[in-house]
Structure 1
Amino acid sequence: MTSEKSAQDMTLKSWLALFILAFSTFTIVITELAPVGLLTSIAEGLSVSESAIGMTVSLYAWVGALSALFASVFLGNVAKKRLLLTLTVVLLMSNVLAATVSTYTVLFAARVLGALAHGAFWAMIGATAVAIVPTRYIGTATSIVFGGVSAASVFSVPVSNYIGIHFGWRQAFWLMAALSVVAFFGITVLVPRITSKSAIGLEALKSVLKSSTLWKIYSATLLAVTAHFAAFTYIGPWLQTQHFLTTSIIPVVLFFYGIAGLAGNFLTAIVIDKYLKVTVSVSVLLISTVLVFLGLSGASLSATVIFAAMVIWGVAVSGIFVGFQTWVLRMADHKTFPASSVYVSFFNIAIGIGASAGAWMVSAFPVQRLYIVAGVAIGLSVLLVASIPTCMGAARTISEKFYESN
């Protein structure tokens, strides 16, 4: 396979590489979120409070944000495949350590170790996907790779909760360690060597931060993702306000939301390369409409309407997550690594801000008020989206500059 050919055609190995990268994102995100389903089990096992275990989840997001920026400055000259493998080993070590801890302090350290790998891995994975596909497939590649995020969001909490209840919380971490091993060997066999010419270091990071176009994308991401997570973090309390929705049905509603997210990834992959701005704009407006509707509708919605709203929300959120990531990769030119790192940092910061803002609003106002505010806020991000160019002129055939097959 020549570099010229790889820049023009998608091969079977390219597709397989994307799917193992998707499996890898599934592994890192399930490692991040699984403890949510294990809070009670771990707390009882280590004789600490559930809030203390919850802190290890929040810390993961913040450390991941810093790790992404650190990686773009200091690790950009490391070969992408070698770095992915190294980070996978670090993730493996984190999960093994978490599975064998006897004190909260060691668990805390294990989570910090995993978060360091998480941020750097997420920042690297987007640039890696871009490097192994032709430019016209960037959106498709991003949809596939970050489909692992949607899958992890669906399965991490219920699966970890089931394992924790029936087999013990340590076995959940052993499972994540096993997934890390599979990811390691998959990357070894399927992901090609990539010669990165992406700009690196502080100067490259400063250059990215001087880009008005990228700042518009980052700002839109911060606003939209913050609003989304402020609302989604408290989807449980909102569902519990509905008179026609029994408690036993709530997990089913959330499962449908997750499945809709997976379907949204598939639909986004089909249209995003040709209709990037339209995809993101429609997704933003759909979520805005759903959230405002849910906030204004009181507590008497039928189960059918609630299920429909959750499906629309789940499908649309993929257009936001994948869309903004694709946009960054398109516009970054030869600075894909630092540009993606900053995006990952903004995304993780948005998760933290959204959860905190949601907590404040729910403590001061009815949860319906939160949904109205979040819906309006995410709707306002469409104004930023409208001002972002989609021209590919600046983003030349990135794969031609980065790719070198085995």
Structure 2
Amino acid sequence: MSTLINHPSIPNRQIWAAVGSMAMCAAMLIASEFMPVSLLTPIASDLRASVGMAGQAISISGLFAVVTSLVIPSVTSRLDRRNVLVGLAGLMLVSLVLIAEAGSFTTLMAARALLGITVGGFWSLATATIMRLVPEESLPKALGVLYTGNAVATSFAAPVGSYLGGVIGWRGVFWALVPIVAINLVLLLVTIPSMKSERSQGNGNVLSLLGRPHVASAMLGVMLTFGGAFAVFTYFRPFFESYTHADVAELSMLLLGMGLAGFAGTYGASAIMSKRLYHLLMGLPVALAAVTIALLPSGHNFWAVAALVIAWGAVNAAIPVAWSTWLSKGVKDKPENGGGLMVASIQLSIMVGAELGGTLLDHYSIGATFIGGATLLILSAIVVGNGRRLQPRAE
């Protein structure tokens, strides 16, 4: 693959400024996509919807992200990569304004659909863009910068959103994101150099990878794992309110503890990944299911819940690290197609998981939601097994 770093007109400082702008975009996307998790109750009340219906705002963005991640490589094949990324950031900006001004549940869902297009498009193109921006020896550092934006938003979006929602209202939270995203859009336009699309190397349709048995098994494992996790994660606020009776300050503390624990989970998983990859792919969802179930009998004790939520955050953060590592080993010959398929699988699982959790919450109870999520996590561990079915036949 060619790289722009050798072009004499592009200074090194601009290259890293571009990487930083993309990391900022990643942070804004994560914050925008998952902010409703900490604001479900007030959003539902204001728009006269059930909490389960409000949770579908997570689902609809996932649906559009799935479709986008599968089609955007061919749709944008002749377009300048910079213009595509700037356009996606523009869609995010429009989405945030529509969410903040939403007068009905239908408007909210339409705005979240636009956000889903941005999510699917950005993450499908992000790694390939970074690979074209920096030389091969700097790629790990550049990807680390990109995913730092992801980690920061994952840690702070929910607790900050919860706190600010109590101060300025849920609409104010989304309005607060608008100027930040506008600045990010300008930075992307200024820092990312013109990146004319490279000619296709004939990698074929993204879905063709499912013809490989080990990839099909892995994607099933991915969907069950992330689906189970998001069936639970999406509805943590109703659990904290109904079981733990947490006020806004306590809720923010719980979500912040969960987010900060993610740094420890990411670091711990990375330290042992090379030797224990398949053990982690099977063990992490089992551990997450166990912690989820343990929350139910402990739900009325704030400090017990706090300890379990911290454990939940650490385990959950290690899961995408494990699956990303599998991707680098399991689809070495077609990493971009594999990445697109992974994005689609994860986003589809978010959609299905949030829908399942909301349905169980509306028709049964929050306990049923947690049990349903835990069941999917256990099924994912069964699919992974000892890891043999996830390994290419050549191994």
Answer whether TM exceeds 0.5 for this pair. yes
Q: What residue identity is the alignment partner of 1:112?
A: A
Check if 1:314 corresponds to 2:316: no
How far apart in 1 are the matches of 2:118 and 2:337? Answer: 16
How far apart in 1 are the matches of 2:144 and 2:279? Answer: 17
Q: What residue identity is the alignment partner of 2:122?
A: F
Q: What residue identity is the alignment partner of 2:354?
A: A
Alignment root-mean-square deviation, CA: 4.2
Instruction: Choose 14-23 or 28-37, whichever is displaced more.
Output: 14-23
Contact map agreement 1:23 1:183 (CA 8 A) in 2: yes
Task: Quote the residue 1:377 is aligned against.
Answer: 379
The Cα shift of 1:334 comes to: 6.7
Contact map agreement 2:37 2:234 (CA 8 A) in 1: no
- Aligned residue for 2:390, secondary structure, equals coil
Task: Quote the residue 2:390 is aligned against.
Answer: 388
Task: Quote the residue 1:256 is aligned against.
Answer: 257
Q: What residue identity is the alignment partner of 1:388?
A: L
Contact map agreement 1:73 1:201 (CA 8 A) in 2: no
How far apart in 2 are the matches of 1:68 and 1:83? Answer: 13
Contact map agreement 2:217 2:384 (CA 8 A) in 1: no
**TM-aligned CA distance change 1:285 to 1:199, over 3 Å:** farther
Q: What residue identity is the alignment partner of 2:378?
A: V
How far apart in 2 are the matches of 1:251 and 1:162? Answer: 6
The Cα shift of 1:350 comes to: 0.9
Note the alpha carbon deviations across 1:326-352, whole angstroms, 9 max, x for none. Answer: 543565557444432222111011112
How far apart in 1 are the matches of 2:173 and 2:358? Answer: 28
Task: Quote the residue 1:118 is aligned against.
Answer: 119
Q: What residue identity is the alignment partner of 2:231?
A: A
Gaps of 5+ in 2: 7-11
Task: Quote the residue 2:9 is aligned against.
Answer: none
How far apart in 2 are the matches of 1:350 and 1:189? Answer: 35
Q: Normalized against structure 1, the TM-score is what?
A: 0.74
Note the alpha carbon deviations across 1:297-329, whole angstroms, 9 max, x for none. Answer: 872597666544433432232232133235435
Task: Quote the residue 2:92 is aligned against.
Answer: 91
Task: Quote the residue 1:30 is aligned against.
Answer: 31
Contact map agreement 1:292 1:376 (CA 8 A) in 2: no
Task: Quote the residue 2:290 is aligned against.
Answer: 292
Contact map agreement 2:281 2:384 (CA 8 A) in 1: no
Alignment of 1:278-289 (within 5 A): 278-279=276-277, 281-282=279-280, 284-289=282-287
Q: Normalized against structure 2, the TM-score is what?
A: 0.76
**TM-aligned CA distance change 1:65 to 1:258, over 3 Å:** same
How far apart in 2 are the matches of 1:215 and 1:277? Answer: 23
How far apart in 2 are the matches of 1:280 and 1:78? Answer: 39
Contact map agreement 2:19 2:146 (CA 8 A) in 1: yes
Note the alpha carbon deviations across 1:114-142, whole angstroms, 9 max, x for none. Answer: 22222211211233234445667766655
Gaps of 5+ in 1: 395-406
- Aligned residue for 2:97, secondary structure, equals helix
Identity of aligned residues (%): 22
Task: Quote the residue 1:167 is aligned against.
Answer: 168
- Aligned residue for 1:146, secondary structure, equals helix
Contact map agreement 2:91 2:114 (CA 8 A) in 1: yes
Q: Give the number of equivalent residue pairs.
A: 382
